[in-house]
Amino acid sequence: MFVRGDMKYEALALPDRMNMSDDEMQVAADAFYDKMKRRHSVRDFTDRDVSKAVIEKCIQAAGTAPSGANHQPWHFIAISNPDVKHEIRLAAEEEERQFYAGGGGDEWIKALEPIGTTADKPHLDIAPWLIIVFAQRWGEFDDGTRYKNYYVPESVGIATGVLLTALHHSGLVTLTHTPNPMKFLNEKFDRPQSEKPVMIIAVGHPSDDATVPSVAKIKKPLNEILTLSE
């Protein structure tokens, strides 16, 4: 991505400027909140197809996220092949069985009880797409010299949030899955050692009988998540 001999600053006039009145800003903020409060993590998917073009555009949107030194330390792999999805499910469930057998610790497992999760992950088979998020710990200049990436977890977290928002905005539902370790994914997809798989996102449409845990609708009120200093 970077040419080692051409690292210089060049200023551009702000190319995309929005001029909204105060009222228009409030309407836009209210509308966005109304849309996002309808986002749910869903475990019950249908096998209804989702076009590759929609997935590509949502990942392209994720790629617009801010990042440390603009290094964009992320890579996404989108999978629709049923055999590959099943292979991922089997590997993920093996890790989950160890977790629920006590590897996760009593406190963590107890905390998950209201969510209703188990070691069974059929959604990894059923959802039409799985998106794997990789964090790139370092990159390489055009001449192969290694350079450090900065604020990698923060940058990848922001990009993943944009991706989830884009998918929801497109009428889809998602479920994030973070088994650990996931090193087998590097080998499966021939990804470099600089990259660490951090998340699998199941993407698709909810089944007719989809449910969410009631506790998922309990969100902290604004006065618990916001401090205003004026």
Query: Dihedrals φ, ψ of 47, to 5°?
Result: -90, 15
- The answer as to whether 29 is a domain residue is no
Side chain identity at 213, as an amino acid letter? P
| Tens of pLDDT, residue by residue, the chain (230 residues) | 666 767 789 999 999 999 999 999 999 999 999 999 999 999 999 999 999 999 999 999 999 999 999 999 999 999 999 999 999 999 999 989 998 998 889 999 999 999 999 999 999 999 999 999 999 999 988 888 999 999 999 999 999 999 999 999 999 999 999 877 788 899 999 999 999 999 999 999 999 999 999 999 999 999 999 999 98
CATH code at 103?
3.40.109.10
Could you tell me how far CA 44 lies from the centroid of its own chain? 18
Other C-beta atoms lying within 10 Å of the C-beta of residue 5: 9
What is the tally of structural domains in the chain? 1
Query: Do the domain assignments include residue 162?
Result: yes
1 assigned to some structural domain: no
Task: Please answer whether residues 109 and 100 qualify as being in contact, where contact means their C-beta atoms are separated by less than 8 angstroms.
Answer: yes
Cβ–Cβ under 8 Å, residues 126 and 47: yes
Please report whether residue 230 resides in a domain: no
In the chain, helix, strand, coil percent, each to 5?
A: 40, 15, 40
Assess if residue 35 is contained within a domain: no
Nearest to 49 by CA among 226, 205, 216: 205
Residue 201: inside a domain, yes or no?
Answer: yes
Q: Does residue 163 form part of some domain? A: yes
Domain range holding 89? 41-207
| Dihedral pair phi/psi, residue 133, rounded to 5° | -100, 125
Q: What is the DSSP letter of 100?
A: I
Chain-centroid distance of CA 118 in Å reads 21
Q: What is the DSSP string of 112-169?
A: HGGGT--S--THHHHSSEEEEEEEESEEE-TTS-EEE--SHHHHHHHHHHHHHHHHHH
| 214 falls within a domain | no
